[in-house]
Chain A
Amino acid sequence: MTKGANSVILEVAYRMLTPVLLMFGIYVLVHGELSPGGGFQAGVILGLAIICERILTPEDDAKHPLWEYRSVAAAGLGTLLYALVGIFTIAGGGKFLGYSFLPIPAGIGERHAYGMLFIEIGVTICVMATVVSIFDSLGKRGRKDDDSGSVL
């Protein structure tokens, strides 16, 4: 299958779809406590926007967002954000992820809301980067075989 912008329909659909996907991902993330949704779903939707871009544009790795090892680094960053919220609650005198002890000047309810929001943001970044990383490694093996002709 030839990659690249050889189809007008795919190109236009990609241009119109990607902003909607990104917007809907953010909506699912911040509205996740009141309605169906949350960090995981938002992360996969944001990752799908990047995967659409990978499928439909020519292969020029350096131009893609989150190329090569950067997706794995971003996944680690999301996990770090999750852990930092937990460590901050420990520093505030509570248990791990005990939101009531989050050291910010706000009421208990707002502390719970902010703690959950930051945790969901961490989960979103981690899932998005992991989805993109899995997609990359699925496509990479055949490309390497084509280039060198060897098994490795």
Chain B
Amino acid sequence: MLHTILLTVLLLCILGTGIVAVIIPDLFSSVVLFGSFSFFVVLAYLMLSAPDVAFTEVVISVVSTAYFVTAVREFKKGER
């Protein structure tokens, strides 16, 4: 029962951060929200007892956040 409740809360968090990350106008905020989105996805994977997938997702989310931050920085540099 507790497992189900926790998983539901996690899925709602995933839904919320995902939707806000898409509709928010500022690019950097979108990147940060995407990072929190993947954090909640990692927790959901762990609750569904798939630690290998969760580990891969952690690593991918960290490196993609670094990429996105660099890309947004270059984009803003070119915009000016």
A positions within 8 Å CB-CB of B: 1, 36-37, 40-41, 44-45, 47-48, 51, 55, 131, 134-135, 138-139, 141-142, 145-146
Contact = CB atoms under 8 A, between A and B. Distances in A.
B47 to A, nearest CB: 15
Contacts of A41: 55-56, 59
A24 B51 CA distance: 17
Nearest to A146: B77
Interface size class of B (residues with CB under 8 A): 10 to 19
Contacts of B60: 44
B41 to A, nearest CB: 16
A45 B59 contact: yes
A55 B70 CA distance: 9
B74 interface: yes
B70 A138 contact: yes
A134 B67 contact: yes
Interface in B44-63: 51-52, 54-56, 59-60, 62-63
B13 to A, nearest CB: 23
Interface of B: 51-52, 54-56, 59-60, 62-63, 66-67, 70-71, 73-74, 77-78
A48 B51 contact: no
A141 B74 CA distance: 8
A2 to B, nearest CB: 11
A47 B74 CA distance: 21
